[in-house]
Amino acid sequence: MDYQKPMNNGIGFLSIPLFFFFVSSLAWSQSDKLKTLIKKDYNFTKIGRMHVDLEFDYETNRAKTLELAKRNNWKLKETLPGGKKIELQEVGEDGSPIFYETYAEGASQVSRANALHTNGIMELDLDGEGMQVGVWDAGVVRTTHQEYDVRATIADGSEDVDAHATLVTGSIISSGIKKEAKGVAYRANVLSHDWTRDKLEVTEAAANGLLLSNHSYGIKTDRVPDWYFGSYIKVAQDWDRIMFNAPYYLMVTAAGNAQNRNDNEAPIYGTSRDGFDVLLGFTLAKNGLTVAGANTKIDRNGNLKEADVSAYSSFGPVDDGRIKPDLAGNGSSILSTSSTNDTSYNVSSGTSMAAPGVTGSLLLLQQYNEQLYGSYLKAATLKGLALHTADDIAKKGPDYKMGWGVINAKTAAEVLLNKEFSTHISEDTLAEGDTFTMTVEANGSETLMASISWTDPESEFLNRGILNDKTAALVNDLDIRISQDGKTFFPWKLNPAQAGAPATQGDNLVDPFERVEIPGAKGSYTITVTHKGTIKNASQDFSLIVSGVAITQCSVTTPEGIALSDASREELQIYWDDIVDGLYEVQFKKASDKNWITDYATSNSIVLTDLIENQDYEIRLRTFCSQNIASEYTMEYQFTFLGEDTVVGDLDNYEALNLSSELNFSVYPNPAVDQITLNTEVSDTAMYRIISASGIELKLGEAKSAKINVSDLATGIYILQLQDFGVKKSAKFYKD
């Protein structure tokens, strides 16, 4: 039977793909919240039409591929010595056979994702639980491996269990039964697929809420003509189209391991021995994230001390000058799960192993943003965040070897946390002819940096055989500038004709990501976003990320000068010293209650209502400078409400008047490791509480023992609070 492309009659040609999307969402969706977001923001008509087009292209090209393979005696599949798998995927428009190969030759510390884990430096307890990530590879994962529990699922019905797919999957989600093999997002779920119908399956998964997918494979470099290298061809166009129509979905792909293969005899720069211009296919898609391999040295605090590109990792540029790879991750000697049996492991190197470390890190950042703000980031924002915060190495600015540098999930998480305090993150739209402006104040302690990132429409231009064609694939050319007192600061850019030279600053005409940096910035600056020419579709969504700014004048300072005033029969006013731009959280309760009542104030006072006479109350406060940036709580003050006879005035004085004695103490050792000891005597009824720096009660018990176990606490600062005969005092200690 001939395969015929359905006609768009405006009535029902999308019914089959759309039906599949909505039915499969029951099994694939990440959460009800994400399903709602997808249905609200996605154009399912466009996605359905794209799915039909891709299905038609696949069937047509597959028939042509099989016919040419038979005629030319091409092998459809090969397994090379060492286990590398190769498969004939399709035929290029020029008739060249396109073979896919895995990018392993034989990661969480380098990406700084471990700072986000339980007991990590940032104490965020991020682990990927409840999150989903897609893995497409030569085959599917061994789902029964002991590291996965039930978190790895074969999503396309494939039965070809593959060693490479199992290595990649383990780098993302291994639980850490073998500590050295622990994955970056070690409680996440993987949906495993083989690469045969990757574009079709990704379209379906993205429509159903998939945020990220990992692709540690690509076109085999020794089986295509030289003009393919660095070219924007149909496979890159298809992936750009998928990501444009599903703007929350981001493809992460390995750059490849062709640096020293000398397969491109006519690179756009230098000679084949220099290693430049060996990227192919979907690694050159504008909207995806392409990952190089790096050798790094990281100190115990997560700081990058040294970094250089791995000896195998493929270099850019794209022929039009775009910056590819986008960034780098660790791909050297990675221990991960093996498909030999359910308890086997193996060590592998290559960009195949660098990519999943980045993918897992990005998944944790999505999890963190949802925890902080109740939503996921668009793909352009997530990609922009990764490039904005990557660790620059050696030469300033990006390069064609490791892009913007080595991924730093810790810094990226800090940018998310500090949103609207010292950073700004927004998802905006620029209409044709419009200009976006924003005035910011440099905080004086960091480099002022502003980035724009956008998911660009697929280009109608395709290279069909021209060697090193520099025609730009960028469709909507947005521009960011920062200005102050008549001086304009420009973004970074690279020149493919001088691929080994340092980056310069000027008008970037080719990249859908632009970053401007101003070291030592002081004072006010204006950020401007504009566009050149006409905008396809009349508007372009873009993401803006700014760091090194003072969004608010608020100081993260614990409130002081807390006092009582204006007591009436059932009400009492509390006031404190004002903090500029501060928002205040006030917690109070009966002294005998366990749970606090929380209220908020935008000024430095609040009225407590429905109070009971002759009742003891406790109160504490803290300052919020943004949604997630807060000071420590004050000490817990106790007072007796006596209606109109309540003693008013400063609560520190109130405590001195009403408490018969003071409890002064400290703890040792400090820093502590397994236990702390009190250096004061307490009564048999004395109680202690251990409270985190964010005000969460972690431990409660009798203090008479004097020795308190803290071995189960994460590294960080804590408050130990004692209460004895109505006297309440606190001391800080550090858990090492």
Pairing of strands 212-215, 478-484: unpaired
Note the pLDDT tens digit of each residue in 398-430.
999 999 999 999 999 999 999 999 999 999 999
| Residue 691 confidence (pLDDT) above 80 | no
- pLDDT at position 678 over 70: yes
Angle formed at CA 94 by CA 496 and CA 510, multiple of 5 degrees = 25
Which residue, among 603, 569, 607, 614, has the nearest Cα to 588 in the 3D structure?
607
Question: d(Cα 297, Cα 574) in Å, to the nearest integer?
Answer: 52
C-alpha 182: how far from its chain's center?
19
118-132 per-position pLDDT tens digit? 766 766 778 889 999
Beta bridge partners of 442: 549
Closest CA to 398 of 499, 486, 488: 499
The model carries a pTM of: 0.81
CB atoms within 10 A of CB 60: 12
Q: How far is CA 214 from CA 113, 145, 171, in A?
A: 17, 19, 11
Amino acid 92: pLDDT: 87
C-alpha–C-alpha distance, residues 378 and 248, integer Å:
4
> What dihedral do alpha carbons 115, 119, 125, 131 form, nearest 10°?
70
User: Which domains are assigned to the chain?
Assistant: 15-41+48-70+78-547 (3.40.50.200), 552-658 (2.60.40.10), 660-736 (2.60.40.1220)
Give residue-wise pLDDT tens across range 269-312: 999 999 999 999 999 999 999 999 998 777 776 777 777 899 99
pLDDT tens by residue, 575-589? 899 999 999 999 999
**Over 60: is that where the pLDDT of 12 sits?**
no
In this prediction, residues 592-599 reach a mean pLDDT of 92
Angle between helices 163-173 and 351-373 (to 10 degrees): 30
**Can you tell me the mean pLDDT for 11-28?**
37
303 compared with 205, residue with greater pLDDT: 205
**pLDDT of amino acid 228:** 97
Q: Could you tell me which of 429, 419, 424, 404 has the C-alpha nearest to residue 368?
A: 419
Asked if residues 522 and 428 have their Cβ atoms less than 8 Å apart, the reply is no
Stated as kind and residue range, the H or E segment containing 25 is helix 15-28
Confidence of residue 690 (pLDDT cuts 50, 70, 90): confident
Phi, psi of 126 (to 5 degrees): -90, 135
State the SS3 of 436-463.
EEEEEEECCCCCEEEEEECCCCCCCCCC
Range with the poorest average pLDDT among 46-55, 500-509, 602-611:
46-55
Per-residue model confidence (pLDDT) at position 687: 84
For the ranges 55-59, 153-157, 325-329, 615-619, the lowest mean pLDDT is seen at 55-59
Element (H, E) at 730: strand 727-735
Averaged pLDDT score across all residues of the chain: 87
Read off the pLDDT band of 21 (50, 70, 90). very low
Give pLDDT tens digits for 666-675.
Answer: 788 888 888 8
